[in-house]
Chains A and B, each alone.
Chain A
Amino acid sequence: MSEKVPCAILGSGNIGTDLMYKLQRSQTLEPTAVIGIDPNSDGLRRAEAAGLETSAEGVDWIVANPDKCRFVFEATSAGAHRANAPKIAAAGLQSIDLTPAKLGPGVVPAVNIEEHWEAADVNMITCGGQATIPMVAAVSEVTPVPYAEIVATIASLSAGPGTRESIDAFTRTTAKGLEEIGGAERGKAIIILNPADPPLIMRDTVFCAISPEADRDAIRASIERMRERVATYVPGYRLRGEPQFEEDRVAIFIEVEGAADYLPAYAGNLDIMTAAAVAVGEELAKLRSREQVPA
């Protein structure tokens, strides 16, 4: 692809601003505009300084300028995205939704993006889902996983009001992702907020129920391949120690350190969302250009 694909970011808060810095490094995507609703926001000021178009008109700007972007990264709130999504679709643009609105299919770049290249709206699930679903998928590629369970521990400071108000949405959405995308028959998700100071780096533990006869070497190798694949788009994605096998389960310990583009390094939970969203945009751009070669 010779030309970068233009993208707009809707939402000029922490997530939108972090996303802008990541998109500026993309070889495939070109951030053209950051659109907010507060003309005095730090995010809009930073976007202007970076030479991007800015507006405080919200989704109306997108509707009025559909030629300026092909993807819209939705970094607002679930409520806002529910209102914005039909307008974005009507303008012929594709949404990559970082909110918990769950309008479109959930996507994890390392696992299932190819299935959804045509969707008008794809959803980034949850931070815990982005960190753990790949590992469940890695295990279930090798052996059946009747049950997968994850525990996500994040620094209190990195859990915004949206997460706090609807913590059930996190556990439900993540558990569903473990099943539908990770391939577990049944999934369960637990989230813990830890207020330690200095703040701790995001940690995730993945437990997969497996048969005692499962091929442990093959599982180890699959986990390692998946770690590499995720680390290509989330550089701070690491395993803590070796996977721990017990009779009928394997436990995988993950740590996600953020790239500290705009958000602090401990906020791996936010970093993995923005980094994965960029990877989704890049993949979609490639898949679409392959499928939509002009005759």
Chain B
Amino acid sequence: MSQGPKVTLVDSTLRDGSHAKRHQISVEQVVAVSSALDAAGVDVIEVSHGDGLGGASFNYGFALTDEFELIEAAVGAVERAQIAVLLLPGIGVKEDLNRARELGASVVRIATHSTEADIAPSHIALARELGFKTAGFLMMAHMNTPEGLLEQAKIMEEAGAEIVYVTDSAGALTPDAVAARVAALRGGLDAGTEVGIHCHENLSLAIANSLVAVENGARWVDGCTCGLGAGAGNAPTEVLTAVFEKLGIEVNADTFAMLDVADDVVRPIMDRPQLVDRASLILGYAGVYSSFLLHAERAAERFHVSTKDILVEVGKRKAVGGQEDLIIDIAAELAAAQPAPAGA
């Protein structure tokens, strides 16, 4: 039997995948995916608008279904798995946490940019009070140094976070950079605080980076089934399960069951395959928040400019997660700077 570490597997298909689905997820889809993941042994299933509770908006996209309905459906569809929610202070508010808890969500990730943890303590404290298993989620981890990230992680830990994540929102970290950040957190946080890893596939490194993170002490690992998530997608949960099994890293999820969930349940609801193509690779290369991808594609179409040019410019301006409004602004600027198309 396995002798390696035991890892808690978090599947975020119904949260990070919300980006790739333009937040058009139905109750039926949530029931099908969450019950299948539960049966396959996934520990935690995250369900929220892609930008967290309260994310439904002009800026990020309105949702097909109220996210609280989706949370309630997921809670009702599982027997063993815990249902998680995401909240970004500045977008969602504390009332959202109360409501998610009442509906039966029991894990929460409180997310901030990798340098702004001090907007989260009151949300983390409330989450603990409400009885949530509480994680701090340091997004765009490539934009802070390992030492800087540890300082931020300590703010979250002190506020009550039981897990702190290295969140590679842009899929921009290389394995050495993941190792340095995870090792910094593992070495600097209390032994009782777990470290988590959340990877995107923009540089085709999501699985490799997840493994490096586990080697360096991460014990909470995020994936999305079929990789369904923002940008080029996330570490595919079924691949994580298979690779972990081969390496003797213990997970509750069953590899063959996960392959069925992937091919029979999740792939049929995907709008498009998760590809590392010109636009999504640029996210990782230029360090841009992965969920900007579809917004940039839409703006590119509307203003007749290239998605790549928009994303490169977003990267230059050091945009952080949540600044989707900058995309239209930049696209309009790029359009104004280029010669008018013939006949226009």
Binding site for B on A (CB under 8 A): 149, 151, 153, 156, 161, 164-168, 170-172, 188, 190-196, 200, 203, 205, 207, 209, 240-242, 244, 249, 251, 253
Contacts and interface: CB of A to CB of B under 8 A. Distances in A.
B318 interface: yes
Interface size, B (range): 20 to 34
Given A196-B317, A205-B59, A190 B91 contact: yes
Contacts of A188: 57
A244 B91 CA distance: 23
A195 B90 contact: no
B89 A192 contact: no
Contacts of B328: 244, 251, 253
A195 B122 contact: no
Given A190-B91, A251-B328, A165 B122 contact: yes
B119 A192 contact: no
Nearest to B320: A194
Contact of A151 (B59, B115, B143, B321): B59
A195 B323 contact: no
A171 B336 contact: no
B122 to A, nearest CB: 7
B208 interface: no
A195 B89 contact: no
Contacts of A205: 59, 325, 329
Q: Which of A164, A207, A209 has the most CB of B within 10 A?
A: A164
A27 B59 CA distance: 41
A251 B328 CA distance: 9
B118 interface: yes
Given A171-B90, A193-B90, A251-B328, A164 B119 contact: yes
B80 interface: no
A193 B116 contact: yes
Interface string B34-74: 00000000000000000000000111000000000000000
Q: For the complex of A and B, list the 3 residue pairs with the smallest distance between their C-beta atoms, beginning with the closest.
A: A205-B325, A196-B318, A207-B58
Q: Which of B119, B317, B326 has the most CB of A within 10 A?
A: B119
A209 B59 CA distance: 12
Contacts of B58: 149, 207, 209, 249, 251
Nearest to A194: B320
Given A168-B89, A188-B57, 19 more contacts: A149-B57, A151-B59, A151-B324, A153-B325, A161-B118, A164-B116, A164-B118, A170-B90, A172-B93, A190-B57, A190-B90, A192-B320, A194-B318, A196-B317, A241-B333, A241-B336, A244-B332, A251-B58, A253-B329
6 contacts: A168-B89, A171-B93, A192-B320, A193-B116, A205-B325, A240-B329
A150 to B, nearest CB: 9
B323 A153 contact: yes
A195 B57 contact: no
Nearest to A251: B328
Interface in B302-338: 317-326, 328-329, 332-333, 336
B219 interface: no
Nearest to A255: B329
Nearest to A163: B119
A243 B162 CA distance: 45
B99 interface: no
B113 interface: yes
Interface of B: 57-59, 89-91, 93-94, 113, 115-116, 118-119, 121-122, 143, 317-326, 328-329, 332-333, 336
Contacts of A165: 118, 121-122
Contacts of B119: 164, 167, 193
A153 B325 CA distance: 10
Contacts of B320: 192-195
A195 B113 contact: yes
Contact of A167 (B89, B318, B321, B323): B89
Q: Which of A170, A190, A195 has the most CB of B within 10 A?
A: A190
B304 to A, nearest CB: 14
Contacts of B317: 196, 200
Contacts of A153: 323, 325-326
Given A151-B325, A193-B116, A205-B325, A168 B93 contact: yes
Contacts of A172: 93
A249 B59 CA distance: 12
A165 B324 CA distance: 24
Contacts of A171: 90-91, 93
A153 to B, nearest CB: 6
B90 A241 contact: no
A114 B307 CA distance: 47
Contacts of B143: 195
A200 B89 CA distance: 20
A276 to B, nearest CB: 22
Q: Which of A167, A170, A172, A240 has the most CB of B within 10 A?
A: A167
Nearest to A191: B90
Contacts of B115: 156, 195
Contacts of A251: 58, 325, 328
A149 B59 contact: yes
A279 B189 CA distance: 49
Given A151-B325, A166-B122, A241-B336, A195 B93 contact: no
Q: Which of B59, B90, B319, B324 has the most CB of A within 10 A?
A: B90
B59 A207 contact: yes
Contacts of A168: 89, 93-94, 122
B332 A241 contact: yes
Contact of B59 (A164, A167, A170, A190): A190
